[in-house]
Amino acid sequence: QSCLSRQQLLAAIRQMQQLLKGQETRFSEGLRAVRSRLSTIHASLAKAAPEPPAAACPALQAPADGRKFGSKYLVDHEVHFACDPGFQLLGSSTRICQANGSWTGQEARCAEIRECSSSPCQNGGTCLEGLNHFKCLCPPQWTGTTCQYQAQTAPPTWSVMDDPAFSRQPRCAQVAQTQQCSCDPGFHMSGTASNGICQDLNECEVYRLQGGPRLCAHACVNIPGSFRCSCPPGYVLLGDGKSCEDIDECSLSQDNCTSGSTCINTGGGFQCVTPQCPPAAGNVSYRGHFVVQRSDRHTGELLLLQSLRGPRTVHVDVDMAEYLDRAFQAKHLSKITLFVSAYEF
CB 149 within 8 A of CB 142: yes
> Which of 139-153, 163-177, 188-202, 258-272 is predicted most confidently?
258-272
pLDDT over 70, % of the chain = 85
**Could you check whether the bond before residue 311 is cis, i.e. omega within 30 degrees of 0?**
yes
Per-residue confidence band for 159, with pLDDT thresholds at 50, 70 and 90 = very low
Mean pLDDT to the nearest integer, 250-270? 89
Rounded-to-integer distance, Cα 46 and Cα 34, Å:
18
Q: What per-residue confidence (pLDDT) applies to 319?
A: 81
Residue 235 has pLDDT above 70, yes or no: yes
Mean pLDDT (the chain) is: 80
pLDDT-derived band at 51, boundaries 50, 70, 90: low
Which amino acid does the sequence have at 23? Q
Query: Is the confidence at residue 225, as pLDDT, over 50?
Result: yes
pLDDT value at position 106? 92
Give whole-number Cα distances, 317 to 175, 186, 292, 309, 310, in Å: 78, 55, 11, 20, 20
Query: Containing H/E element for 206?
Result: helix 203-210
In this structure, which amino acid lies at residue 269?
G
% of the chain surpassing 90 pLDDT:
12
Q: Is the confidence at residue 154, as pLDDT, over 50?
A: no
When pLDDT is cut at 50, 70 and 90, the band that residue 22 belongs to is confident
Whether pLDDT at 162 is above 60: no
Confidence of residue 157 (pLDDT cuts 50, 70, 90): very low
pLDDT at residue 107 tops 90: yes
Residue 153 pLDDT level (bands cut at 50, 70, 90): very low
Band of residue 105 on the pLDDT scale cut at 50, 70, 90:
very high
